[in-house]
Amino acid sequence: MKKSVGLVQTQIARINLPPDGLKLEKGGRLSELDVAYETYGSLNDRRNNSILVCHALSGDAHVAGFHENSTKPGWWDEMIGPGKGIDTDRFFVICANILGGCKGTTGPSSKDPDTGHSYGSKFPEITLGDIVEVQHLLLNHLGIERLYGVIGGSLGGMQVLEWSLRFPDKVDRCICIASAASLNAQALAFDIVGREAILSDPLWAGGDYYNTGSLPAMGLAQARMIGHITYLSPQKMETKFGREKSDAAEPLKKFNTRFQVESYLHYNGRAFVDRFDANSYLHITEAMDSYDLEERFGSLDNAFTAVQAKMLIIALSSDWLFPPEQSLEVATALLRAGKQVSYCLLDSPHGHDAFLLDIDHLTEAVQTFLCPVPPASPVHAEEAARAADRARIRRMLTPKARILDLGCGDGQLLAELADPTAPRPHLGIDIDLVNIVAALGRGLDVFQGDIDNGLGMIPDNSYDYVILSQTLQVVRKPRLVLQEMLRVAHAGIIAFPNFSSLGNRLHLAFSGKMPVSDTLPYAWYDTPNIHLATLKDFQDLCRRDGIRIEEIDCLSDCPLGRAFIKIGLPNLGADRVLCRISRL
């Protein structure tokens, strides 16, 4: 059981503004600005251990610990605390209610100093940019010049992206979870219908309901009900509710049902009305909907030109509100813009909201990215066996080369090759999240992905070498992978087992069975090696596809094999082959 940060309280900062107030991006002005915030942990003497947490649509400043007389922890207590993902023994953590909110920061329900009444319909239009500017003003107010990191999920992730490009020299690490550079059409559609529900509630009264004694409760509850459908994956909906019915005794209203999912939606709709303001909902969703980095900068690549921070983009597999493709788009654009970026896709059945839960590996990925610690021992047993290949691969590389390692494992090779003076870091790609986290622990940039889906995220000629070690035979389309390798890099280094080694030939010829050996250790029925080839086959394919083999390094585990290699019969002698290839 992890410790909590304990008792905390929300503070309100009255921000010093210029005489003409805070100018907003869409032209509006605010003459007064309050920001509600909480902090956890201590600012160190060098004032360089601050982490800003950005909250999502309906969140607030209370992200961890407990308020007095409450047993309900902050909304991300799972992540923040002593020894947790964001370790308050080490970091000074700040979270502030966003501009336009209703939890202490200036918003539509705040008192307009010019009139003495709530802003209501007079509250100006805000943007994600304004929200982040206000966070920046708060940090100035707190005397914090630079952030060790900024992190957030969903709408909070959009704020993280905005931080990375708006204040590039003030943040060192960004973690953007379950988010996007803009909402897609379906997510927009849900927001549009949600707002429509509020706007068509007669009690909304054009936004000026604060002094009417009533609230657009029906409309706001409706909007929240729609939201709640989108926060859960269909699988989660099914396992959580299915078609179960409640056995409540009270009679049903006409056209209501006893389905538990209906009680859940009703409960959450009503509860939201008690804790959230309809105008805040309208303003914040409007800011979210109009956020669009591509539109603003012409392209996502352009958007990220200024970024200096190391970026970690995390997607959730069953998130359909901010689907993983959108996170991958952000990560890919950062890569194309030449930035230090890692991407991982966490497997979770829970849907969008899962970023609030302690789902597998989320805490670990965040913690490892913030405080890299290399893995103590090889993550998988194969890593040890690949040590010999690593030494051979290193010999084939030119110094200072930029490397892309496909199937990079826990990142051992890239770590050995790391050069802090290089203008651009190496990149590893691996399908296995455990490997990805281990590689993050080495401080590497890594993408989680299946190279069978291609290398679409990598621009042409963006690396000097691409490495494919013991992987050619396990991919579904080896020919495509070879082509892709020589698209993204000037040269490639490939290590693969040679099916026509003396041992294999004799095995097949005399035992009449498929070869099983140190190099090909699996039985035919469960081998991952699905496209076996000989050195000659490989040479034929290279000839056919316009690939030059610059160097071949053959390895055999037996003396006879080594003798054949020596007398110029590598296709007979080699158990394993290493080739350096380039385009003809």
**Which of positions 91-150 make contact with a copy of itself (CB under 8 A)?**
121
If one asks whether residue 541 binds a copy of itself (CB under 8 A), the answer comes out as yes
Cα dihedral 347→352→354→359 (10° resolution): 20
Residues 555-574 interacting with a copy of itself (rule: CB under 8 A): 571-572
If one asks whether residue 182 binds a copy of itself (CB under 8 A), the answer comes out as yes
SS3 504: helix
Q: Please choose, out of 219-227, 336-344, 356-364, 424-432, the segment that lies near a copy of itself by the rule CB under 8 A.
A: 219-227
One character per residue 317-346, x = contact with a copy of itself (rule: CB under 8 A): ---x--x-----------------------
- Contact indicator for 289, 295 with CB cutoff of 8 Å: no
SS3 440: helix
One character per residue 496-535, x = contact with a copy of itself (rule: CB under 8 A): ---xx---xx--xx-xxxx--------xxxxx--xxxxxx
Q: Which is nearer to a copy of itself, 72 or 253 (CB)?
A: 253
Residues in the chain: 584
Distance between CA atoms of residues 502 and 574, nearest Å: 8
Minimum gap (Å) between residue 584 Cβ and a copy of itself: 18
- Contact indicator for 253, 374 with CB cutoff of 8 Å: no
Cα dihedral 40→43→49→50 (10° resolution): 50
Q: Which is nearer to a copy of itself, 114 or 295 (CB)?
A: 295
Residue 301 designated active-site: no
Residues 284-323 interacting with a copy of itself (rule: CB under 8 A): 286, 289-290, 292, 295, 320, 323
Q: Which is nearer to a copy of itself, 182 or 340 (CB)?
A: 182
Give backbone dihedrals phi and psi of 222, rounded to 5 degrees, phi first: -55, -50
Distance between CA atoms of residues 333 and 300, nearest Å: 6
DSSP notation for 99-130: TT-SSSSS-TTSB-TTTSSB-GGGSPP--HHH
If one asks whether residue 471 binds a copy of itself (CB under 8 A), the answer comes out as no
Radius of gyration of the chain, Cα coordinates, nearest whole angstrom: 28
Minimum gap (Å) between residue 580 Cβ and a copy of itself: 19
- Tell me how many helices (H) and strands (E) the chain has: 20, 19
Residue among 25, 32, 87, 262 that touches a copy of itself (CB under 8 A): 262
If one asks whether residue 25 binds a copy of itself (CB under 8 A), the answer comes out as no
Give backbone dihedrals phi and psi of 229, rounded to 5 degrees, phi first: -65, -40
One character per residue 388-427, x = contact with a copy of itself (rule: CB under 8 A): ----------------------------------------
- Contact indicator for 67, 9 with CB cutoff of 8 Å: yes
If one asks whether residue 381 binds a copy of itself (CB under 8 A), the answer comes out as no
If one asks whether residue 210 binds a copy of itself (CB under 8 A), the answer comes out as no
Residue among 26, 400, 479, 566 that touches a copy of itself (CB under 8 A): 479
DSSP notation for 64-79: SSB-TT--PPPTTTTT
Q: Which is nearer to a copy of itself, 41 or 323 (CB)?
A: 323
Annotated active-site positions, please? 154, 319, 352
